[in-house]
Structure 1
Amino acid sequence: DLSAHKGLISDRQTHTHRALAAGFGSNANAVRYLNQDFAALRAQCRSAGKLFCDPAFPAAPEALGFKELGRSSSKVRGVTWKRPTEIASNPEFIVGGATRTDICQGALGDCWLLAAIASLTLNEYVMARVVPTDQSFGDDYAGIFHFQFWQYGEWVDVVIDDRLPVKDGELLFVHSAEGREFWSALLEKAYAKVNGCYEALSGGSTTEGFEDFTGGIKALEAGALLGCSIDAVTRQKLVKGHAYSLTGAVEVNYRGRMEKLVRIRNPWGQVEWTGAWSDGSSEWKYVQGDCPHANAEDGEFWMSFSEFSRNYNRVEVCTLTPDTIDDDSVKHWSVSKFDGTWRRGSTAGGCRNNPYTFWMNPQFVIRLEEEDDDPGDGEVGCSFVVGLIQKNRRKLRKQGEDMHTVGFAIYEVPKQFYGQREVHLDKNFFLTHAQTAKSETFINLREVSTRFKLPPGEYLVVPSTFEPHLNGDFCIRVFSEKQTETDMEISALELKTIMNKIVCKRTDIKTDGFSLETCRVMVNLMDQDSGNGKLGLGEFATLWKKTIYKKNDTDNSGTMSTPEMRVAFKDAGFTLNNAIYQLLVARYSDPDMTIDFDNFTGCLMRLEMMFSEYMENIQHVLHVLYILHILHVLHVLQVLYVLHVLHFLQHVTPLPPQRSLRSWTLTTAAPSSSTSLR
């Protein structure tokens, strides 16, 4: 129940709260696709001494396609299925880390997907969520691999065998420029399995791929993955109707002025821009200072931002959802999800152009309660994003179906219906009331999303196809910008899962992985806000920034020597004397005087908290000293006052001979605690 939400409340029972990636259906605990358990299946194969053959996605013509790649198509004539061990003498899952050049397009029109995969490699954390690191062609190899995709509100773990389509001795579809590397080809196969076949991947929007790799939505403001496309052919080798990856941006000093450049990659792995700032162009000769240019026929090229703006028609942006942690700032978007269907004759009313059937569409109520905290944007209201996603349309291509043209409208709920859990307004309402807001367009893409800012109140979201009487399944996600009462925290077990997923993919770092006990220590040390044994996003971001390890492994040994360790401490902001450094070496280093990643991270966490506690204690001591200083001043003032009175009395009445000045002063001027507090 979302009744406790500050910013957005849903009044439908079909909602699912996804503000935090934890629990069933999260990336850390993904749903088993088709109920296939990767670990169990691999163990069975190894026990039986057999290589895995996937009965749910067999190496057969049906896995290739249904029309252009159908059984009778000449394009699939001579295609065989081979495992990487049959294609390369020494296959590897990933060689030297996943990079943009690992993705080269084959005989399938899925450039949109490959552009998304190329952008994915730019973010190691997001990459590790999609491509699990617990697999290789090493000792545990059993012909089985798995990948994780976001599908309509939940993450699914997809198992495949490693038989890949080959023609004339070469991989038929995506392949790596490094001939013995296979992660990208296996990822494409897993995505084809989710969508029914390889041919179902032909044609699409880069945003769709971004979304399935991140759970993101294109309208949010945060760190993002970028893609671009062009609708017209040029003479300078930019390809019509083709998707590219935007992989970088930089400013260079060119002839005494600053020039903005963007870096773009063609998934083909070749065919590059030949204009200004291309490989080998004269502009690079006049760059002063650092120069990002590398001359290679790898499909990646630079061009000026002005040329980019003139030549490209579309830029697609996918922003990461609230469970993403690699952004420096803590995000406060919360997410609610609704599932629904359009069925001919009952709930498929079409758009507002069909006034007598529009009311039949599913209707969902949301409540906006608190206005945004940022008045600087000049707008008053509650910010939120609505995203409408069509489900499983690629799978239906075999039956001749494709994406519907879809969109949605938003209406203000009449006051008499406020607070009702089941609201379905009738035809007369829609005939007599104008919509309050609507999607930017009706379009035949998988997702339509738009950002809004509306006054607090209750609103009705009505999703529809453009034409009436069309069957389909959909989900709606509503992103609220206000903080909700979700914990946005991770436990020690979740921290262990996340950290091990990331470090295990780093073959250049030697570690046995993070133990649960180490993660408990890290959580206990960092959990400053609530003391509930969990890390908040802010605390986790601090921890994450402290795990910079590889930079100081100057000899590339995968571990850190004690001299490297001292430099690393300094880079992390700790200046230590020799005695403290000797204690740390004795406590955390191995007998060979090296420190591995797990111990290094734990050591940094302890130092962080020791310094924090020290500074807190210093502040407390300074506060006490300040109070004592005030007490001392008051005491001196009282003594001076008594002396003044005494001096006055000496001139008026002689002092009794039995009392000395000193004894009188001491018995009269001693400060009490009550006096000092006045």
Structure 2
Amino acid sequence: SGSAPGGTGHQRAAPRLAGAAAFLSGKTYEELKQECLHRGVLFEDPDFPACNSSLFFSERTPVPFIWKRPGDIVKDPKFILGGATRTDICQGDLGDCWLLAAIASLTLNEKTLARVVPLDQDFGPDYAGIFHFQFWQHNEWLDVVIDDRLPTFKGRLVFLHSAERNEFWSALLEKAYAKLNGSYEALKGGSTIEAMEDFTGGVGEMYEVKKAPDNFYEILEKALKRCSMVGCSIDTSSAAESEAKTPFGLIKGHAYSVTGISEVSYRGQQVQLIRIRNPWGNVEWNGPWSDNSPEWHSVSLSEQRRLSQTALDDGEFWMRFEDFKVHFDKVEICNLTPDALEDSAAHKWEVTIHQGSWVRGSTAGGCRNFLETFWTNPQIKLHLTEKDDGQDDCTFIAALMQKDRRKLKKLGAEMLTIGYSIYEVLYYFYNGHLGKDFFRYHPSKARSKTYINLREVSNRFKLPPGDYILVPTTFEPHQEADFCLRIFSEKKDSLAAAHPSLQQSPGRESS
């Protein structure tokens, strides 16, 4: 589960290491580090200081946290000890299991991990108390610089930590992500796919397990083979059920990572198994095929070794795929390139990026229920030309992302409920912004599955060649936000063009 091979060569846009975007002084990580080494001081980050404002914005610190550098916590701190692995991720006192599940998936692919967590950092002779991590944000890679002061209580890390007390890469990664989003509290609650996309620049799809296609096992097998990141969870029916433990040792409303999938020979039959990890680093499934279950007695030692089957209380366990489908409700897959989502043929995908805004009184028209204002929303042209090989339709994915909502939490902003509709237009009739009457008399040809308060809404479509308009909207009118719309089209002649009210990124990049 990490991301597509070649963490640098396969990115969709040339990475821009924006030291300036992540640090007010505009100096890069290397410049700041050399400055500290020259002055003989340890770096202190003025943008994300070691104080309560970096922790919480709506609540008080429950106990007095003391910020300490790794060298003040243990004698021999290491950045990475014996490789960055899934067991380095143990959840602390913060409701960010969604982030931890994504980090666990990230460790499964070395190249993707090295893109997010630059590996040339340590506590060696050139240590200066400064570290950096890279995250994808709205079509660019940002280099986020932090100091290594971490919140502790009674000499132990309060938040994310490694099972090894003297290993600190995962705690520092969480701090950098907290800085990116304004505070540790801003990381409470979220969708695993959000962090997965920030680690890869990938595009996500969500499956409801009970309604998943017949070839769901093959979809997951292919996703893991292609180093996609995969998460899963169990729905809750009320807030009281959140993190409630089922009799089978599973936690409701909790983000898990899918870390493996395989068939095993059992009493003359092939059984499909799936491997899941709980980011808590403990609390595991106790049903068939769990760590100490009798089924393993009938599996050869060589098979057990192949599956890395160990009876450790490390939060990771195997279960039968049929049981997985019974007990889990949602699966999130993040693929670096959309061609990983369907068949095994290598496609060339074109990606077009649109940056835009919903502005009250201008372009914040709300969904189709609000006909009087719906037509004022941004309108994006899609020109689909070449059909899929051997098909009558053209395939594309539309991914609509609302920007910076997590960062704005401290100002009371919530995730808005967003979605989009797609309309066919006769090109020779279309020479500007479509008015109210067009939408009054023409139904949409396709739309996002649902309006939902997630950061990104993404769907795959097959439509006949022709000219279309995509209308991205919030559910209610007059709601303001910036958005980023990515169109992945399968053939290079498929175009997406912005209405003048939108700013389009220059050119179209191929993945």
TM-score class normalised by the smaller sequence: 0.7 to 0.9
User: Could you tell me which amino acid in structure 1 is paired with residue 22 of structure 2?
Assistant: Y
The match for 2:95 among 95, 104, 109 is 109
Contact 2:339 2:346 in 1 (8 A): no
The C-alpha deviation readout for 1:518-550, integer Å capped at 9, x for no partner, is xxxxxxxxxxxxxxxxxx99xxxxxxxxxxxxx
Considering fraction of residues, name the structure with more helix.
1
User: Which residue in 2 is equivalent to 1:488?
Assistant: none
Measured on the aligned residues, the alpha-carbon RMSD in Å equals 2.4
Contact 1:439 1:450 in 2 (8 A): yes
User: Which residue in 1 is equivalent to 2:505?
Assistant: none
The C-alpha deviation readout for 1:217-268, integer Å capped at 9, x for no partner, is 1249962210000125421111110000000011111111111111110000
Contact 1:215 1:321 in 2 (8 A): no
Deviation of 1:19 after TM superposition, in Å, equals 11
User: Which residue in 1 is equivalent to 2:504?
Assistant: none
Separation of aligned partners in 2, 1:458 and 1:478: 14
User: Which residue in 1 is equivalent to 2:211?
Assistant: none
User: Which residue in 2 is equivalent to 1:407?
Assistant: 419
Secondary structure of 2:439 counterpart: helix
The match for 1:309 among 325, 329, 336 is 325
1:281 is the counterpart of 2:293 = yes
Secondary structure of 1:301 counterpart: strand
Structure 1 residues 315 and 461 mapped into 2: Cα distance closer, same or farther (>3 Å)? same
1:363 is the counterpart of 2:363 = no
The match for 2:438 among 421, 429, 439 is 429
User: Which residue in 2 is equivalent to 1:189?
Assistant: 175
Deviation of 1:358 after TM superposition, in Å, equals 0.4
Deviation of 1:21 after TM superposition, in Å, equals 3.5
User: Which residue in 2 is equivalent to 1:231?
Assistant: 235
Separation of aligned partners in 1, 2:344 and 2:428: 44
Contact 1:19 1:322 in 2 (8 A): no
User: Could you tell me which amino acid in structure 2 is paired with residue 189 of structure 1?
Assistant: K
Secondary structure of 1:336 counterpart: strand
Contact 1:21 1:323 in 2 (8 A): no
User: Which residue in 2 is equivalent to 1:52?
Assistant: 43
User: Which residue in 1 is equivalent to 2:115?
Assistant: 129
Contact 2:350 2:489 in 1 (8 A): yes
Contact 2:99 2:192 in 1 (8 A): yes
Secondary structure of 1:264 counterpart: strand
The C-alpha deviation readout for 1:560-615, integer Å capped at 9, x for no partner, is xxxxxxxxxxxxxxxxxxxxxxxxxxxxxxxxxxxxxxxxxxxxxxxxxxxxxxxx
The C-alpha deviation readout for 1:475-502, integer Å capped at 9, x for no partner, is 10000112479xxxxxxxxxxxxxxxxx
Deviation of 1:336 after TM superposition, in Å, equals 0.6
1:348 is the counterpart of 2:361 = no
Aligned pairs for 1:310-325 (under 5 A) are 310-321=326-337
Secondary structure of 1:186 counterpart: helix
Aligned pairs for 1:467-616 (under 5 A) are 467-483=476-492
User: Which residue in 2 is equivalent to 1:259?
Assistant: 271
1:451 is the counterpart of 2:467 = no
Deviation of 1:385 after TM superposition, in Å, equals 0.4
- Share of identical aligned residues, percent? 56
Contact 1:30 1:148 in 2 (8 A): no
Contact 2:13 2:140 in 1 (8 A): no
1:178 is the counterpart of 2:157 = no
TM-score, L = length of structure 1: 0.64
Secondary structure of 1:85 counterpart: helix
User: Which residue in 2 is equivalent to 1:86?
Assistant: 72
Structure 1 residues 113 and 369 mapped into 2: Cα distance closer, same or farther (>3 Å)? same
Structure 1 residues 193 and 121 mapped into 2: Cα distance closer, same or farther (>3 Å)? same
Secondary structure of 1:372 counterpart: coil
Secondary structure of 2:257 counterpart: strand
User: Which residue in 1 is equivalent to 2:31?
Assistant: 40
Secondary structure of 2:375 counterpart: helix
Structure 1 residues 162 and 484 mapped into 2: Cα distance closer, same or farther (>3 Å)? farther
Secondary structure of 1:259 counterpart: strand
Separation of aligned partners in 2, 1:219 and 1:64: 31
User: Which residue in 2 is equivalent to 1:540?
Assistant: none
Separation of aligned partners in 2, 1:208 and 1:137: 31
User: Which residue in 2 is equivalent to 1:152?
Assistant: 138
Deviation of 1:105 after TM superposition, in Å, equals 0.3
User: Could you tell me which amino acid in structure 2 is paired with residue 79 of structure 1?
Assistant: F
Secondary structure of 1:56 counterpart: coil
The C-alpha deviation readout for 1:32-64, integer Å capped at 9, x for no partner, is 523341000000000000010011111110100
Secondary structure of 2:122 counterpart: coil
Contact 2:91 2:160 in 1 (8 A): yes
Contact 1:19 1:333 in 2 (8 A): no
Separation of aligned partners in 1, 2:66 and 2:81: 25
Q: Structure 2: any 5+ residue segments left out of the alignment?
A: 1-7, 207-218, 237-244, 495-509
Structure 1 residues 227 and 197 mapped into 2: Cα distance closer, same or farther (>3 Å)? same
User: Could you tell me which amino acid in structure 2 is paired with residue 138 of structure 1?
Assistant: G
The C-alpha deviation readout for 1:306-362, integer Å capped at 9, x for no partner, is 1111000001111113899xx997541121100111111111111001111101111
The match for 1:245 among 257, 273, 279 is 257
Contact 1:19 1:323 in 2 (8 A): no
Contact 2:20 2:28 in 1 (8 A): no
User: Could you tell me which amino acid in structure 2 is paired with residue 252 of structure 1?
Assistant: V
Considering fraction of residues, name the structure with more strand.
2
Separation of aligned partners in 1, 2:483 and 2:12: 23
User: Which residue in 2 is equivalent to 1:164?
Assistant: 150
Deviation of 1:25 after TM superposition, in Å, equals 3.6
User: Could you tell me which amino acid in structure 2 is paired with residue 460 of structure 1?
Assistant: I
User: Which residue in 2 is equivalent to 1:290?
Assistant: 303
Separation of aligned partners in 1, 2:130 and 2:317: 36
Separation of aligned partners in 2, 1:125 and 1:263: 22
Separation of aligned partners in 1, 2:338 and 2:27: 28
Structure 1 residues 481 and 132 mapped into 2: Cα distance closer, same or farther (>3 Å)? same
User: Which residue in 2 is equivalent to 1:442?
Assistant: 451
User: Which residue in 2 is equivalent to 1:465?
Assistant: 474
Tell which has more relative contact order, 1 or 2 (C-alpha 8 A, sep 6+): 2
Structure 1 residues 264 and 24 mapped into 2: Cα distance closer, same or farther (>3 Å)? closer
Secondary structure of 2:482 counterpart: strand
Secondary structure of 2:372 counterpart: coil
Structure 1 residues 37 and 165 mapped into 2: Cα distance closer, same or farther (>3 Å)? same
The match for 2:11 among 16, 21, 29 is 21
When the two structures are aligned, how many residues end up with a matched partner?
455
Separation of aligned partners in 2, 1:189 and 1:36: 19
Separation of aligned partners in 2, 1:436 and 1:19: 36
Deviation of 1:24 after TM superposition, in Å, equals 5.2
Separation of aligned partners in 2, 1:316 and 1:372: 26
Secondary structure of 1:458 counterpart: strand
Separation of aligned partners in 2, 1:131 and 1:110: 19
The C-alpha deviation readout for 1:1-29, integer Å capped at 9, x for no partner, is xxxxxxxxxxxxxxxxx9963875457x8
Deviation of 1:134 after TM superposition, in Å, equals 2.2
The C-alpha deviation readout for 1:265-310, integer Å capped at 9, x for no partner, is 0000011111111111111101145113201011111111111110
User: Which residue in 2 is equivalent to 1:570?
Assistant: none
User: Could you tell me which amino acid in structure 2 is paired with residue 290 of structure 1?
Assistant: E
Separation of aligned partners in 2, 1:206 and 1:137: 30
Contact 2:90 2:279 in 1 (8 A): yes
User: Could you tell me which amino acid in structure 2 is paired with residue 406 of structure 1?
Assistant: I
* Structure 1 runs of 4+ with >6 Å offset: none
Secondary structure of 2:467 counterpart: strand
Deviation of 1:396 after TM superposition, in Å, equals 1.2
Q: Structure 1: any 5+ residue segments left out of the alignment?
A: 1-17, 486-535, 538-678
User: Which residue in 1 is equivalent to 2:84?
Assistant: 98
